[in-house]
Amino acid sequence: MTDIKFLKGVGPVREAMFARLEISTVSDLLHYYPRDYQDRRPGVMTEYGDGAQVVFLGRVMRTEYIPAKSILIFKAHLENEKGEKLECAWFKKRPFYKARFDPMAALKKDFKLAQWVWVVGKKDNQENFFANKISVDEYYPAGVESSLIHVNRLTPVYGLTQGLTGKFFRTCVYTALETKLKEEKEVLPVSILDKRHLLSAPQALRAVHFPSNTPELAAARKRMAYEEFLLLTAAWGIKKKQQVKTKNYHYEIKTNLLTPFRENLGFEFTASQKKVINEIFNDMRSNVPMTRMLQGDVGSGKTIVALSAMLLACENGFQAALMAPTEILAEQHFFTVTNFLKGLDVKAALLTSSVKGKAKEKILEDLENGEINILVGTHALIEESVKFKNLKLAVIDEQHRFGVRQRAALQNKSENIDVLTMTATPIPRTLALTFYGDLEVSSITELPPGRKPVTTIITTESAAYSKALEELGKGRQAYIVYPLIEESEKLSVKAVKEDFEKIAGVFPAFKAGMLHGAMKRAEKEKTMALFKNKKLDILVATPVIEVGIDVKNATVMIVQNAERFGLASLHQLRGRVGRGSEESFCLLVPGSVSTVSKERLDILCSTSDGFKIGERDMQLRGPGEILGTRQSGELEFKAGDIFKDADILKWALEDRDALLAQDPRLTSPEHAAFKERLIELYQKHWHLISLS
């Protein structure tokens, strides 16, 4: 594969810029698909509205150069064949020193009288709604073949990084297609191309970057989506069929820990909890390591189920670890674990990045000696210095927030351990198997008895505050959540710090505390303890409280700028209230609401079913943000969409099964290129499969 630096126009400096986009070869560039397309054929001028894109082919009628005090302005007046006129403007800061060159020299040269030019820009209607004025983003001389890469077509728009312009990036892609496309191998077997009527790799790559028309683009995207789906499902299919090592240890159901644990709970497991505990215990008692995902709605009792599994490990003389993505969630888990372990001969410890010095040394020493039975923590658990004596069960909560390598690092702390992953973002089983093909799936489908549904409404800030006052007057507590810690110049969004004093003024008879991720651990712990112990009536916070906070007396959740949150996050926030027996309320206060965000908020108001909410969130936002596939080292679908392309995914699964039934190790010459691509993608990046 040709290094990107050897592509015409790139070189070593821009090579580093491309590296930020994870593009190191020309092949990487060709497989870096556009994130969008702009219709840059003439006629877009019919779009009116501030900021509307304009594409115009016109002849230069006259130009103006205006050297103002602090800024230089160049204007070109164009007219097309229909007699339509357009005023184009460029603005550049005047140099602080007497420059040897004229910043407008190139424009003066390119916009000579009577010359025909393509311009692309944004409409400026501030002075006159119907005035044809634009601020120019790009321009190209007419009659030059290279200009047609950028205009008079469906033009690709790429995700960029500092130093790379859209014009330069498109030129590089076009050059790569013209000079290096022949180096791209066809990875799909001919039989599949014929069966599914797919474009060949060269056809699809050319069309996905520079489509001649919309149908050609659809055909190219279909081919690329299918290839992504087939590669992923084949990788999981192979991994699933590979021989799994057997355990050199076994579990027995004993009564010295599990029985008193159940007796001391103070409540009965739900039928759903009992079902998944049996599934987990059966996996742990089998002779192959467990790989099971436990999914359940907010407040469904996943932690108690996981603790049951950890106690099974402990009463058989083994250690267990529970890893969570944030300190707050790890601390809450530790609190829950220690609370339910009272009176049991089990020692638990908490390890996060905030644990330092002698306290950390003591934990590491006790862990390696086997004196700690359960270790709860964050990413700190996977540090090289953390050594277990006899780890046999790893529980990973909110598992989609960890990368594959991070999850694997915990698994590699011991040999052939059982792994239980948990998520409060319920996803359909077929989808779970698509993304996490080596996992069995258990679902907790009911909430503990006595839990009342949380009333969720979209409302105004004043109405939300009135409801909060009513509940606070009854001795209840309230959360007020903001998307930001501090105000941003770029976003008109409310923030915790700026509104905190305002909250004190709105609720003068009640005490408020502030909680956000930038606070030190001790400060956070103090604030949470005060709120939990009813020393604070109101907790003003960022989404750090999304998971891990359990205060049964809290009955009001107010979410400011609710449109800035995803459905899953809003559902998680709603889960912070309604944890007691009192009626509770989730009050969504939007700033501005688009059609999509209004639909998202309406969904939350209409259902409390986490499975429906998780599925709709993925349909609206895409799975990457929710499933964690945009983390470093993970797969992100570049062309495919598992909801919009459900039929293509179905084809891929069918063809995967037929392919692996016919040629399980892909030894056939027809499958050689497909096998090579699998190894490149999954063994290199994920270390998932072995095809040697």
Ramachandran angles phi, psi of 539, nearest 5°: -110, 110
Comparing 95 with 11, the larger pLDDT belongs to 11
Compute the distance between CA of residue 40 and CA of residue 31 in angstroms, rounded to an integer: 23
Token pair 């002075």 in the structure block, residue: 127
Compute the distance between CA of residue 570 and CA of residue 616 in angstroms, rounded to an integer: 13
Do residues 350 and 327 lie in contact, with contact meaning Cβ atoms separated by under 8 Å?
Answer: no
Q: Is the pLDDT of residue 8 over 70?
A: yes
Tokens at 558, concatenated: 């107010």
* 287-296, 336-345, 445-454, 626-635: segment of lowest average pLDDT: 626-635
Helices (H) and strands (E) in the chain, counts: 24, 20
Q: Is the pLDDT of residue 377 over 70?
A: yes
Compute the distance between CA of residue 156 and CA of residue 33 in angstroms, rounded to an integer: 9
Where does 264-338 show beta strands of DSSP type E? 291-296, 319-323
Ramachandran angles phi, psi of 668, nearest 5°: -65, 140
Residue 665 has a pLDDT of 87
Q: Is the pLDDT of residue 284 over 70?
A: yes
Compute the distance between CA of residue 604 and CA of residue 456 in angstroms, rounded to an integer: 7
Comparing 659 with 449, the larger pLDDT belongs to 659
Compute the distance between CA of residue 511 and CA of residue 540 in angstroms, rounded to an integer: 11
Region 200-226: mean pLDDT is: 95
DSSP conformation letters of 341-383: TTTSS--EEEE-TT--HHHHHHHHHHHHHT--SEEEESGGGGS
Region 681-688: mean pLDDT is: 55
* 93-107, 432-446, 450-464, 603-617: segment of lowest average pLDDT: 432-446
Residue range 127-147, pLDDT digits in tens: 554 458 888 989 999 988 888
**Which range scores top for mean pLDDT: 237-241, 389-393, 502-506?**
389-393
Compute the distance between CA of residue 47 and CA of residue 426 in angstroms, rounded to an integer: 42
Tokens at 319, concatenated: 């250690």
Compute the distance between CA of residue 84 and CA of residue 244 in angstroms, rounded to an integer: 71
Q: Is the pLDDT of residue 46 over 70?
A: no
Region 572-601: mean pLDDT is: 83
Read off the amino acid at residue 474.
K
pLDDT band of residue 571 (cuts 50, 70, 90) is confident
Residue 19 has a pLDDT of 94
Comparing 198 with 516, the larger pLDDT belongs to 198
Residue 193 has a pLDDT of 96
Do residues 399 and 293 lie in contact, with contact meaning Cβ atoms separated by under 8 Å?
Answer: yes
* 47-56, 281-290, 375-384, 542-551: segment of lowest average pLDDT: 47-56
Compute the distance between CA of residue 686 and CA of residue 351 in angstroms, rounded to an integer: 27
With vertex at residue 288, the alpha carbon angle to CA 282 and CA 294, rounded to the nearest 5 degrees, is 50
Cβ-based neighbours of 616, under 8 Å, separated by 6 or more: 567, 600, 603
* 157-161, 629-633, 657-661: segment of lowest average pLDDT: 629-633
Tokens at 567, concatenated: 């459905």
Comparing 316 with 444, the larger pLDDT belongs to 316
pLDDT band of residue 44 (cuts 50, 70, 90) is very low
Dihedral sign, CA of 145, 147, 150, 153? negative
Residue range 478-533, pLDDT digits in tens: 999 998 876 554 455 677 888 888 888 899 999 999 988 778 878 887 888 899 89
Do residues 190 and 33 lie in contact, with contact meaning Cβ atoms separated by under 8 Å?
Answer: no
Work out the end-to-end distance of the chain between its first and last CA atoms, rounded to an integer number of angstroms: 21
Percent helix / strand / coil, the chain, rounded to 5: 40, 20, 40
With vertex at residue 96, the alpha carbon angle to CA 95 and CA 97, rounded to the nearest 5 degrees, is 90
* 127-131, 338-342, 462-466, 570-574: segment of lowest average pLDDT: 127-131
pTM to 2 decimal places: 0.62
Residue 494 has a pLDDT of 72
pLDDT band of residue 126 (cuts 50, 70, 90) is low
Output DSSP code: residue 403.
-
Residue range 393-443, pLDDT digits in tens: 999 987 656 655 677 788 888 888 999 988 876 565 555 555 555 567 888
Pairing of strands 477-481, 554-560: parallel
pLDDT band of residue 450 (cuts 50, 70, 90) is low
Mean pLDDT of the chain: 84
Instruction: Give the H/E segment covering residue 442.
Output: strand 440-444
Region 542-570: mean pLDDT is: 82
Do residues 385 and 361 lie in contact, with contact meaning Cβ atoms separated by under 8 Å?
Answer: no
Pairing of strands 418-423, 154-157: unpaired
Residue 403 has a pLDDT of 59
What Å distances lie between residue 535 and 120, 220, 512, CA to CA? 60, 61, 9
Q: Is the pLDDT of residue 92 over 80?
A: yes
Q: Is the pLDDT of residue 248 over 80?
A: yes
Bridge partner list, 135: 89, 122
